[in-house]
Amino acid sequence: MAKVSKERLTAVPEGDFVLFLIGMRINNWFAVHRWLPVFAAMPKMLKELHINRQLGFLSYQMWFSRTIILVQYWESAEKLIEYSKAKDSEHLPAWKAYNKAAMKSDSVGIWHETYVIDKSKTENIYVNMPPFGFGKVGDLKPASGARNTAKARLSGK
């Protein structure tokens, strides 16, 4: 378990980055044979991305419910798209399999959203938290002085 920091911290980005939201929704819990392969594909991709850091993947957070959500951080949209189309990646075969299966049943849905983030237009705060979200990616600094308020953090000073 990650250590909780008692400090009030903010993560300062080194440069622009990509926030990529991706997930799946189980529409029919009883169709395990339909949604389990989709669910099982993501850990393989995450392992591949962690091992091959040059692909541009930075970090992620995941939440489980009927809709599974992964918040991912990437170096750039170009690297994210390059990974998604790479013939030798875990992603492309999983994507093709999903598309083929999706024509047969609506038991599982998938979704994603991509946001290119200007480093000067970000703000975050972490209090009594282990490294979390962008706090696992950015340079953690005390949220004091010029970084004390959300307004100050958003001004980039």
Q: Residue 113 maps to which CATH number? A: 3.30.70.100
Q: Name the DSSP class of 143.
A: S
Indicate whether 98 and 145 sit together in one domain: no
Predicted pLDDT of residue 2: 84
Q: What is the pLDDT of residues 85-132, one digit of tens each?
A: 999 999 999 999 999 888 899 999 999 999 999 999 999 999 999 999
pLDDT, mean of residues 136-153: 94
Predicted pLDDT of residue 157: 58
Indicate whether 64 and 86 sit together in one domain: yes
Contact 67, 52 (CB under 8 A): no
Instruction: Please list the residues that pair with 111 across neighbouring strands.
Output: 23
Sign of the torsion angle spanned by Cα atoms 104, 65, 39, 70: positive
> For residue 119, what are its two tokens?
């480093």
What CA–CA distance (Å, rounded) separates 23 from 38? 10
Indicate whether 130 and 111 sit together in one domain: no
Indicate whether 128 and 111 sit together in one domain: no
Indicate whether 70 and 144 sit together in one domain: no
Indicate whether 113 and 127 sit together in one domain: no
SS3 36: helix
Q: What is the pLDDT of residues 40-76, one digit of tens each?
A: 999 999 999 999 999 999 999 999 999 999 999 999 9
Indicate whether 62 and 132 sit together in one domain: no
Indicate whether 110 and 125 sit together in one domain: no
Indicate whether 137 and 113 sit together in one domain: no
Sheet of strand 139-142, all strands in order from the earlier edge strand to the far edge: 126-129, 5-12, 139-142
Predicted pLDDT of residue 131: 93
Give the model's confidence band at 5: pLDDT under 50 very low, under 70 low, under 90 confident, else very high.
very high
**Residue 1 to residues 4, 63, 105, 129: CA-CA distances in angstroms?**
9, 16, 39, 12
Q: Which helix (H) or strand (E) holds 77?
A: helix 77-85
Phi first, then psi: give them for residue 118, nearest 5 degrees.
Answer: -75, 125
Indicate whether 111 and 124 sit together in one domain: no
